Structure formats: C-alpha cells, structure tokens
Amino acid sequence: METRHFLTLSDLNTGELGVILARASELKKERKQGVQNDSLRGKTLAQIFEKSSTRTRVSFEAGMTQLGGNSMFLSPRDTQLGRGEPIEDTARVISRMVDVVVIRTDAHEKLETFAQHSCVPVINALTDLFHPCQLLADVLTYQEHRGDIKGKHIAWVGDGNNVCHSWMKAATLLDFQLHIATPESHKPDKAIASVCKDHIEWTSDPNAAVRNADVVVTDTWASMGQEQEKQERETIFKDYQVNQVLMSKAKTDALFMHCLPAYRGSEVTAEVIDGPQSVVWDEAENRLHSQKALLEFLLT
Ligand code: CP
Ligand code: NVA
C-alpha cells in the first residue's frame, strides 16, 4: 500500500476530511468524559521543527500520549540535519525507526523531499506555503459553533500567507467562498489561487471582503522568517487591522478566528480577539483533537 502523507489539504478528498473531522469531535467528547483510548499504542512520532511552535508541538506530543503512543522532538540543532546531512538520507533513516513524522520547516519543497524518501506518513506542521493542520482545527471550530461550512462566506483579511493558502484549499474541498482582502503587494500565491479560483475572490478592500461575512479570519502580518520586515509590514498592512469597526460590517453573529500567536494592536485589536465573537481558544484546543484524528487516519 502506498504511504499516505498530509502535506497539503489536497492530500485528502472531501469525504476523508469529513471522516477526520467527525472522529475529532468523537475524540474530543471522549476526552471530556475521561475515556481512555489506546489506538496508537506502540507507535512513535518524530517531530522535526526548524521553526518555533507552541500549539503544534504541544498538541502533537500530548495527542500521541493520549492515544497510547510516544513522541520525540528533534531540533535541527541537535541532529545531523543541522550539520548538513541531506534531507533524503535523514528521511530514509528516521522513517525506518518511527511510524510517523511531523515536520515544520521553511521551504515547502524540503517537506516534499522528505516525504518522497520516507517510508512512513509525513505531516506538514507548517511550511512557508501551507499550514493544513491549522485548517482541520479551524473547520472543526466553525462546525461546532455554526454547523456546516458549505456555502458560507469567510473573509480573510491581511497577508496572503501560508494560513491563507490553506483556507483557499479548504474552500475548494468544502465548497465555501473565501473573500480575501490583502494589499496588492501581498496577494496569495498565483498558482494556488488559480487552482482555487472558483471558491475565492480577491479585493484590496477589507470592508468589501467582510461585508456579510460569517467568519472574519486574520493572522500575523509578519510570519516566521519575516522578522526583519516587521516594521515595514506594520505600515503596509495598517489598513487591514481587524477591529470592532471592521467586525461590525460582517454578519452580526460573525465569528472571529486567528491561528495564533496574535499581536494585539497590529492585525487585531484586543477588543476583538478577547471579545464575544472570538473563538480563538477553541481553535487552539481543537488542534489537539483534530490532529489525534489525523494521526489515527494515517496510522490505523
Ligand atoms: N497556530 C500555530 O501553528 O501555532 P504554533 O506556531 O504555536 O504551533
Ligand atoms: N503565518 C504564521 C503562522 C503561525 C502559526 C507563520 O508562518 O509564522
């Protein structure tokens, strides 16, 4: 059987995504009820992180433990990867020893190279191009609060970045409309936009994107690796802040989402992220439940 990877949301079809989300809800319920689940007993996860992480790392590690498995964290500083051992060789070696590998890196091609040489499933824990695990949690969160996301109007405001690209893929798989507002200079990737064209609409005007929206989503203006541009980006994106005035243009019961970490006073005001429309803590918690379901899907 061919090894299944999860490098982008397109590695799943709509039905499979539905199965994973339904299982995530079940696992969440079971955890609240204190039900013990050993579905991944004896399995080992290796986590390779070339960038910082709080949510992704903790949720994968806790998730493996909760399902009876083990996980190890590998920083490039401590492995031979950091001293120049080729990705291909690292993939061949690690994948002969563990059952699944989670990778957070910069270039998406590095992740693809690893997956090509891995004999076990590889999961994308964020690259410069995509963050598919985030979308499992975000869609689950929407469903919990509002039901089916099909046909809904989601507004993305800010940078056309990795998380935005995964929202674009989700729109295509789950048949909702993503209205994207970014500065002309920071539009999403053209190739991804062309694949998702039937489910996305771009504008440079945040007010137009959020008008009548069911959800308003944003993310940091300076992603990991763009720290030197932080100052310049504050200027470029200053009209794209999600504040109460912008939120008031969306539906009255619109949700506010953010993958976190958030920078209050930049891409979002404290009033919005800490206010009644915000579901960011549910999104963060749902990383755990949805990734446990993903691990089970890939491993059992
Ligand atoms: N949202 C997210 O991926 O958070 P971390 O960078 O903390 O993992
Ligand atoms: N776009 C952000 C997401 C962090 C979870 C980044 O890549 O840094």
Q: Is the pLDDT of residue 210 over 90?
A: yes
Is residue 153 annotated as a catalytic residue, yes or no? Answer: no
Residue 1 banded pLDDT, cuts 50, 70, 90? confident
Residue 92 banded pLDDT, cuts 50, 70, 90? very high
Confidence at residue 191, expressed as pLDDT on a 0 to 100 scale: 98
Set 131, 153, 258, 289: catalytic member: 131
CA of 39 to the centre of ligand 2 (A): 31
Atom of ligand 1 nearest to the CA of 104: 8
Give percent of the chain above pLDDT 70.
Answer: 100
Confidence at residue 2, expressed as pLDDT on a 0 to 100 scale: 87
Parallel, antiparallel or unpaired: strands 177-181 and 255-258: unpaired
Atom of ligand 2 nearest to the CA of 162: 1
Set 164, 165, 259, 291: catalytic member: 259
The predicted-structure confidence for 100-146, as pLDDT tens digits, reads as follows: 999 999 999 999 999 999 999 999 999 999 999 999 999 999 999 99
Task: Indicate if ligand 2 lies below 6 Å from the C-beta of 277.
Answer: no
Is residue 287 annotated as a catalytic residue, yes or no? Answer: yes
Which 8-state DSSP code applies to residue 83? G
Q: What number does CATH give the domain 133-283? A: 3.40.50.1370
State the chain's mean pLDDT as an integer.
98
Task: Indicate if ligand 2 lies below 6 Å from the C-beta of 162.
Answer: yes
The predicted-structure confidence for 277-299, as pLDDT tens digits, reads as follows: 999 999 999 999 999 999 999 99
Ligand 1, atom 1: nearest CA belongs to which residue? 259
The ligand with the least distance to the CA atom of 224 is 2
Set 128, 219, 258, 289: catalytic member: 219
Is residue 177 annotated as a catalytic residue, yes or no? Answer: no
The predicted-structure confidence for 59-80, as pLDDT tens digits, reads as follows: 999 999 999 999 999 998 889 9
Confidence at residue 76, expressed as pLDDT on a 0 to 100 scale: 86
> Which class would CATH give 9-130+287-299?
alpha beta
CA of 220 to the centre of ligand 2 (A): 7
Mean pLDDT in residue range 209-229? 98
Confidence at residue 60, expressed as pLDDT on a 0 to 100 scale: 98
* Helices 14-33 and 280-299, axial angle in degrees (round to 10): 110
Q: Do 9-130+287-299 and 133-283 agree at the fold level?
A: yes
- Please tell me the pTM assigned to this model: 0.98
Domain ranges of the chain: 9-130+287-299, 133-283
In the chain, the amino acid numbered 240 is Y
φ/ψ of residue 76, rounded to 5: -60, -25
